[in-house]
Amino acid sequence: MDLVPKVTSFLTLVFIALSSLEPVVCIRHWQLSSQPLVDEHLVTNLPGQPDVSFKHYAGYLTVNEQSGRALFYWFYEATTHPDKKPLVLWLNGEANMLFLESPVGVGFSYSNTTSDYNILGDEFTANDAYAFLHKWFLLFPSYRSRAFYIAGESYAGKYVPELAELINDKNNDTSRYIDLKGILLGNPETSDAEDWRGMVDYAWSHAIISDETHKIIRQSCNFDSNDPWSNDDCAEAVDELLKQYKEIDIYSLYTSVCIGDSASSDDKFTQIMFTRSSKMMPRIMGGYDPCLDEYAKAFYNRPDVQKALHVSDGHHLKNWSICNTKIFVEWLESRPSVLPIYKKLITAGLRIWVYSGDTDGRVPVLSTRYSLSSLGLPITKAWRPWYHKKEVSGWFQEYEGLTFATFRGAGHAVPLFKPSDSLAFFSAFLLGESLPSVR
């Protein structure tokens, strides 16, 4: 009963941060040979959006020629000194940005072989993302030798470590070497058992469920088993938890839900039937907007937008949606825990930062704390607040090989709630600096 959409198709961010390393001669040759395709992918005008001073590119890269699998990307150069910024792949600022819709079947990404959609899973997705990266490096070769980071939120808690592990394992082949430096994970699914325990305890501690429901779940649910739902008492109590969360936004406990004729959700587990209203909730400029999904869906299905992004000719349109429920339900393979990968990547010396918005009920801060606690890492710097603009942004603790931080008052997608704090946090991660612990 995994609630986080594994296939959320919001154009998933890949932040590219570049170092000042000089590309080698053979890469320069590739750059010349790929220039025509780069020019074809240049976005010259994005309808409804203001003119910008930086370049951005969008289009398809084929990750499997035989089956015709192609992933859609959208790449933004940094506004200043793009040749001196680090490379970060955000799977779900001050850097070049590339959006990737993965796996095939979500957003604009597709396969010409329909059977591909029946075998989608974690390993399949990691392999396609890895193939995409190497195709992308051929298109933008000056980035191949730059410092590379991977970041993401939600189910990317599994995607990111899995892709990082794949890169780390294959880096023995120097011809395909990627200079992976670290990973950044926000409100991440990590370990199924600990994620469920944290979700239950968080719901109880935040008055979503009653003492009685919490007690039944704690006594009857064995989240370590392969099928905790075989116990009827457990299943009924968890259903009660989900029922209560349908009354609010599980991803943001203390903000409004989207109410109006166009309000909808493709998430079959958290779908809520709203009272129809003649008044649409006003947009909230500069803050979290519960109707954001609807705006995105309307925008990316505009003929002129799809033409500008090189996914259609403006007449034969593709149907872009927030989530693909069919793929969600039929997801073939998911690792129950990526904690063994954490240990492997820590041993490899990668920088690992994990953060949690503390008002998210879906992958709550307790889930992440339970998961990280099971690693048994020695603490190097004790729990303390971190600050941004002289205000407490959250709390953090440093371990050997890992940093964990919270964002005070942020929901599931932290940057939507705390954009300025998130940028400061992201910058500290890239620079390898500790978070500010004084006002």
CB atoms within 10 A of CB 72: 27
pLDDT digits (tens, 9 = 90+) for 182-212: 999 999 999 999 999 999 999 999 999 999 9
Closest CA relative to residue 122, chosen from 192, 195, 225, 222: 192
Per the rule left: phi > 0, alpha: psi between -120 and 50, beta: everything else, 154 is left
Residue ranges of domains in the chain? 1-189+288-439
- Distance between CA 332 and CA 33 in Å, rounded? 39
* Backbone φ, ψ for residue 208 (5° rounding): -85, -35
- pLDDT at residue 260 in the model: 66
Closest CA relative to residue 321, chosen from 80, 150, 108: 108
pLDDT 10s digit of each residue in the chain, 439 long? 344 334 443 333 333 332 222 222 232 233 334 566 788 999 999 998 888 888 899 999 999 999 999 999 988 888 888 888 877 787 764 866 777 889 999 899 999 999 999 999 999 999 999 999 999 999 999 889 889 999 999 999 999 999 999 999 999 999 999 999 999 999 999 999 999 999 999 999 999 999 999 999 999 999 999 889 899 999 999 999 999 999 999 999 999 998 865 444 444 333 432 232 333 444 454 567 888 888 889 999 999 999 999 999 888 899 998 888 888 888 999 999 999 999 999 999 999 999 999 999 999 999 999 999 999 999 999 999 999 999 999 999 999 999 999 999 999 999 999 999 999 999 999 999 999 999 8
Considering 360, 367, 388, 421, which one is annotated as catalytic?
360
Residue by residue, DSSP assigns 284-298 as: -TTS--TTHHHHHHH
Does the active-site annotation cover 360?
A: yes
Does the active-site annotation cover 412?
A: yes
- Distance between CA 1 and CA 416 in Å, rounded? 26
Q: In 140-259, which residue ranges form alpha helices assigned H by DSSP?
A: 156-170, 192-205, 211-220, 232-245
Q: Which residues contact 18 (CB under 8 A, 6 or more apart)?
A: 78, 82, 83, 84, 85, 86, 87, 95, 96, 143, 146, 147
Considering 102, 109, 145, 154, which one is annotated as catalytic?
154
- Distance between CA 201 and CA 28 in Å, rounded? 55
Is the CA virtual torsion 329, 333, 336, 342 positive or negative?
negative
CB atoms within 10 A of CB 74: 23
Closest CA relative to residue 95, chosen from 79, 106, 108: 79
Architecture of the 1-189+288-439 domain = 3-Layer(aba) Sandwich (3.40)
- pLDDT at residue 283 in the model: 46
- pLDDT at residue 95 in the model: 61
- Rg of the chain over Cα atoms, rounded to whole angstroms, equals 22
Considering 252, 358, 412, 421, which one is annotated as catalytic?
412
- pLDDT at residue 408 in the model: 98
Asked if residue 103 has a cis previous peptide bond (ω within 30° of 0), the answer is yes
- pLDDT at residue 85 in the model: 86
Is the CA virtual torsion 269, 286, 96, 32 positive or negative?
positive
